Amino acid sequence: MKGIRIQIYSLPKNDPDTVYIGLNDRDKAWYDLYKLKLSTGEKMLMRKNTERISGWVFDEQGQLRLASHTTDTGDNQILRVDATGFTKVYSCDVFESCGRPSFTKTASGSIWRPTRVSATMWN
């Protein structure tokens, strides 16, 4: 199928038969989130991306934790993924860059650290 792309979001260490992927087969601009079982090729839709999510973040155990969202004004938001929706936990405006955070394992659990770079830092 022409124009369809895939993004790999997570390869959980505790489940080597699973890959979390994004496919833009429904909407060329945004990727729906799927769980792909490698041994069978079966894919299961986890989230239909109707909220302009630009990326998904999983922890080291393969749990979906965060999403990156682009607003109508071009600002970026980091959202916590809840059972019924999203909660904004971090944001930066169009003149800054805040990339998807990564999780770091600590003695008391996992923590995430956002990345933020301001355009004014380079002036």
The span from the CA of 19 to the CA of 12, in Å, is 7
Q: How far is the C-alpha of 114 from the C-alpha of 116, rounded, in Å?
A: 6
Q: Rounded to two decimals, what is the model's pTM?
A: 0.77
CB 104 within 8 A of CB 111: yes
Per-residue confidence (pLDDT) for residue 102, from 0 to 100? 60
Are the beta carbons of 65 and 76 closer than 8 angstroms?
no
pLDDT by residue (tens digit) across 43-89?
999 999 999 898 898 887 888 999 988 888 888 888 999 988 899 98
> What is the model's pLDDT at position 92?
84
Q: Mention every residue, 6+ apart, whose C-beta is less than 8 A from residue 11.
A: 18, 19, 20
- Could you read off the pLDDT of 17-35 as tens digits, one per residue? 999 999 999 999 999 999 9
Please answer whether residues 90 and 70 qualify as being in contact, where contact means their C-beta atoms are separated by less than 8 angstroms. Answer: no
Residue 62, beta-bridge partner list: none
The pLDDT score that the predictor gives to residue 40 is 97
Q: What residues contact 101, with CB distance under 8 A and at least 6 apart? A: 57, 66, 78, 90, 112, 113, 114, 115
Residue count (the chain): 123
